[in-house]
Amino acid sequence: MSEISYSNWAGWEPNDASSYDSNLRRVSPPKSEKCLQICRGWSYLWNDAVCEIPMCSICEIDLET
C-alpha cells in the first residue's frame, strides 16, 4: 500500500480561515477548517471548510484496511 499524493487545492487553500457558523453568520474567534469541500463554482477545486456547516457528503473510508 502507498500513500496518496494527489491534491486539487484552490490556489489560496488550505487556509484555515473560516469565520462563519452553520447559518453562515460571522463568528469570532474563527472556527477551525478540518473538512474538505469540493467546489463546483471553483471548477471542482478543493477548499478546507468548517465541519459543522452542513453540506453534501461523498463518502468516508478507512484507507488502512
Question: What is the pLDDT at residue 9?
Answer: 92
Question: What is the pLDDT at residue 8?
Answer: 92
- Say what the pTM is: 0.64
Residue 21 · residue 33 · CB < 8 Å? no
Residue 27 · residue 20 · CB < 8 Å? yes
DSSP string computed for 1-65: --------B-TT-------B-TTS-B-SSPPP--EEEEEGGGTTEEEEE-TTS---------S--
Question: What is the pLDDT at residue 1?
Answer: 64
Question: What is the pLDDT at residue 52?
Answer: 76
Task: Show me where the domains of the chain are located.
Answer: 1-52
Q: pLDDT of 6-65, one tens digit each? A: 889 999 888 888 777 767 777 788 788 888 888 788 899 998 888 877 777 666 666 665
